[in-house]
């Protein structure tokens, strides 16, 4: 009788444990346990594009960086930001910060600007062809569809080599993303509507690129530098 009671009690405990919600795991994510550096462009006296009323590019870059950081950390990636406040850093300082970490890739975040308020589209830039070009193409291909889905008119500017100091001096695969044109009337409206929807879409598009990069055959599968 006593043995039967113990068994019944044990079954109740096991049933109760089975009903406790478990924390989600993200080991299936390609960025899981990888290390990513994010460099929000501009800062301090370096304003970036000023074409959008009430939103400077430097502030938009930082807001998107924080959203991307949250998405990556939710998937248990390690994230380093070169700046978390409104501070001006030189390209050399940014590269030195990144090189002092164990980051495997670097994303330098920017938004574009142009005189024509109807111009919009995606640019992904790289510094050194051998080090960066493959990452740039993977990022571009993943970002293109999500960013153009809601845009009124969206141009594919492809990938381009660009001698940005932070890209050249960083020791890991690095890209500069010009995700959308802040100077575009529609993008400006979306980015200043208070919802954060467009910022979230940009961050998610960059995350998709990083997922594709680490998922490809030959990409580093352990924490640390690629």
Backbone angles phi, psi at 186, to 5 degrees: -65, -45
Q: Which two tokens stand for residue 27?
A: 């080991």
Each residue's pLDDT tens digit, 143-169:
999 999 999 999 999 999 999 999 999
Each residue's pLDDT tens digit, 166-202:
999 999 999 999 999 999 999 999 999 999 999 999 9
**Residue-level pLDDT at 219:** 60
The region, left, alpha or beta by phi > 0 then psi within -120 to 50, assigned to residue 44 is left
Whether the CB-CB separation of 83 and 64 falls below 8 Å is answered with no
Flag whether 151 is in a domain. Answer: yes
Q: Which two tokens stand for residue 203?
A: 């961050």
Flag whether 71 is in a domain. Answer: yes
Range of the domain at 200: 27-215
**Residue-level pLDDT at 23:** 38
Flag whether 86 is in a domain. Answer: yes
Flag whether 105 is in a domain. Answer: yes
pLDDT surpassing 70 at residue 10: no
Backbone angles phi, psi at 190, to 5 degrees: -65, -40
Other beta carbons less than 10 A from residue 1's beta carbon: 5
DSSP letters of 196-223? -HHHHHHHHHHHHHHHHHHHSTTS--SS
**Residue-level pLDDT at 19:** 37
**Residue-level pLDDT at 218:** 60
Flag whether 174 is in a domain. Answer: yes
CA distance to 3, 53, 122, 192, 221, per residue, from 151 (Å): 68, 19, 11, 15, 35
pLDDT surpassing 70 at residue 130: yes
**Residue-level pLDDT at 77:** 97
Each residue's pLDDT tens digit, 61-96:
999 999 999 999 999 999 999 999 999 999 999 999
Flag whether 176 is in a domain. Answer: yes
DSSP letters of 135-186? HHHHHHHHHHHHHHSS-SS-EEEEEEE---HHHHH-SS-EEEEEEEETTSHH
**Residue-level pLDDT at 217:** 61
Mean per-residue pLDDT, 50-69:
97
**Residue-level pLDDT at 27:** 58
pLDDT surpassing 90 at residue 98: yes
**Residue-level pLDDT at 28:** 78
Mean per-residue pLDDT, 6-21:
34
Structural domain total, the chain = 1
Flag whether 3 is in a domain. Answer: no
Predicted TM-score of the model (pTM): 0.86
Each residue's pLDDT tens digit, 17-49:
333 333 344 557 899 999 999 999 999 999 999
Q: Please give the torsion angle defined by the CA atoms of residues 163, 175, 216 and 155, in that order, rounded to the nearest 10 degrees.
A: -100
More confident residue, 54 or 11: 54
pLDDT surpassing 70 at residue 3: no
Q: In the β-sheet with 35-40, what is the strand arrangement from edge to edge?
A: 78-81, 35-40, 105-112, 174-181, 121-126, 155-161
Flag whether 136 is in a domain. Answer: yes
The CATH number linked to 124 is 3.40.630.40
Whether the CB-CB separation of 120 and 186 falls below 8 Å is answered with yes
């Amino acid at each position: 009788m006593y043995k039967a009671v113990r068994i019944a009690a044990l079954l109740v405990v096991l049933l109760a444990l089975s009903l406790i919600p478990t924390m989600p795991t993200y080991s299936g994510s390609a960025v899981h346990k990888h290390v990513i550096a994010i460099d929000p462009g501009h800062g301090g006296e370096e304003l970036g594009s000023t074409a959008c009323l009430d939103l400077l590019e430097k502030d938009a870059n930082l807001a998107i960086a924080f959203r991307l950081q949250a998405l990556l950390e939710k998937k248990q990636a390690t994230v380093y930001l070169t700046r978390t406040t409104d501070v001006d850093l030189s390209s050399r300082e940014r590269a030195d910060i990144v090189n002092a970490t164990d980051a495997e890739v670097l994303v330098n975040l920017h938004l574009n600007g142009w005189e024509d308020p109807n111009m919009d589209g995606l640019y992904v830039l790289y510094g050194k062809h051998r080090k960066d070009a493959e990452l740039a193409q993977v990022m571009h291909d993943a970002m293109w569809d999500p960013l153009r889905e809601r845009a009124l008119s969206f141009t594919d500017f492809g990938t381009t080599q660009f001698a940005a100091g932070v890209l050249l001096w960083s020791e890991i695969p690095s890209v500069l993303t010009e995700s959308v044109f802040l100077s575009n009337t529609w993008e400006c409206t979306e980015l200043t509507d208070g919802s954060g929807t467009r910022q979230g879409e940009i961050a998610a598009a960059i995350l998709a690129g990083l997922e594709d990069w680490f998922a490809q055959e030959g990409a580093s599968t352990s924490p640390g530098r690629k």
